[in-house]
Amino acid sequence: MAIIKADIIEIIKRRIRESELNYFSAIGLDDEPMWGEPLIGFGRGDDSYYDYLKEDIGEFHWSPAEAFSLGKGGTEVESGDLLIVSIALPQTEKTKKLNAEQDKEPTLRWTVTRGEWESMIADISAKIVCDIEEKGAHAVGIDHIKEFGRETSVKYGIASNWSHRHTAFICGLGTFGKCDGLITKKGKAMRFTTILIQADIPADERSYSKYNEWCAFDSGCRDCINRCPVKALSDKGHDKEKCSRFLNHLKEKILEEGKLNPEYISGCGLCQCGVACSDGVPAKGQITK
């Protein structure tokens, strides 16, 4: 029997729920999960947005077929044969609350969720791919492709050869905010990963038509702009270089204090907490000016 959406959803939720890495063990909180129940969206590899990403971000951005081929050692496949599965993991309410109380730098909890992300999601996605293939469908986890990494876009600067957030947009999970975060029905304090599956399963229908439809900036919201501790956000958008310099500063601080794993990638997240879109799509009554 061919794999169906319900199978994929069950596998993903179970692997996240059972993961021993999804806890704050690094700071002695072995009974507190780092991430909540995931959102899962489905798209198709021949969605025209993937052609647009190559044109807009850069030719280096993989098509689904290119990514699948890299992950499968050169196996050729058409993008239209691929199901795209976007997985969005939300920060817990406690982590968001504590980070919302900060105005200069992130909390230890936020730093740990970012720092532990790569090893956790690599383990979880590997098990998801294994479970899917046991069901008879070929699959690839983007985070397992050794060539996956940063690139430089002429138009946007810092970029990558696969955008998990754009894929989440394509799969119907949310639209972009002014700070470049993706606003989902569970808010903007999220991280994402992608699984590609060779399967004839239909895409989810997107409930929006515009890339920033769920952002309240055009209605007067400036929450994320006001929250940024280094003014890397403005009405013009996200200054990635200024943001990156601040993250490098946070990384240096981790190294100096010697409290956490020096291999951590640093994160901030102040623009994702204490804002109108922290917990969902903002209603008009939530918007501040």
| pLDDT tens by residue, 141-152 | 999 999 999 999
pTM: predicted TM-score of the whole model, two decimal places? 0.95
* N-terminal to C-terminal alpha carbon distance within the chain: 54
Worst-scoring range by mean pLDDT, 1-10, 134-143, 251-260?
A: 251-260
DSSP 189: -
- Find, among 65, 84, 85, the residue nearest to 75 by Cα: 65
* Cα–Cα distance for residue pair 135/40, rounded to 1 Å: 19
pLDDT, tens digit, for every residue of 28-48? Answer: 999 999 999 999 999 999 999
pLDDT, tens digit, for every residue of 194-248? Answer: 999 999 999 999 999 999 999 999 999 999 999 999 999 999 999 999 999 999 9
Average pLDDT, the chain: 95
Contact 174, 184 (CB under 8 A): yes
Find where tokens 């105005």 sit: 103
Q: Note the residue count of the chain.
A: 289
Mean pLDDT across 104-119: 96
Residue 288 has pLDDT above 70, yes or no: no
Cα of 129 vs its chain's centroid, Å: 18
Q: What pLDDT score was predicted for residue 258?
A: 83
Q: What pLDDT score was predicted for residue 88?
A: 98
Provide the 3-class DSSP secondary structure of residue 153.
strand
Residue 284 has pLDDT above 80, yes or no: no
How many other β-carbons are positioned within 10 Å of the β-carbon of residue 96? 24
Helices marked H in 149-261:
164-170, 223-227, 240-257
Contact 211, 15 (CB under 8 A): no
* Cα–Cα distance for residue pair 58/221, rounded to 1 Å: 30
* Cα–Cα distance for residue pair 88/99, rounded to 1 Å: 19
* Cα–Cα distance for residue pair 158/184, rounded to 1 Å: 23
Residue 138 has pLDDT above 90, yes or no: yes
Q: What pLDDT score was predicted for residue 79?
A: 97
E strand or H helix at 61: none
Both tokens assigned to 119? 């090893």
Cα of 134 vs its chain's centroid, Å: 26
Contact 172, 205 (CB under 8 A): yes
**What is the percent of the chain with per-residue pLDDT over 70, rounded to a whole number?**
98
Find where tokens 């996200």 sit: 238
Q: Which residues of 14-25 are buried (b: 16+ CB within 10 A; e: fewer)?
A: ebbeebeebbbe
Confidence of residue 289 (pLDDT cuts 50, 70, 90): very low
Q: What pLDDT score was predicted for residue 287?
A: 52
Residue type, 167: T
Say if strands 139-141 and 157-160 run parallel, antiparallel, or are unpaired.
unpaired
- Find, among 169, 149, 258, 275, the residue nearest to 222 by Cα: 275
Contact 209, 219 (CB under 8 A): no
Residue 286 has pLDDT above 80, yes or no: no
Residue 278 has pLDDT above 50, yes or no: yes
* Cα–Cα distance for residue pair 184/29, rounded to 1 Å: 27
* Cα–Cα distance for residue pair 272/204, rounded to 1 Å: 26
* Cα–Cα distance for residue pair 105/88, rounded to 1 Å: 24
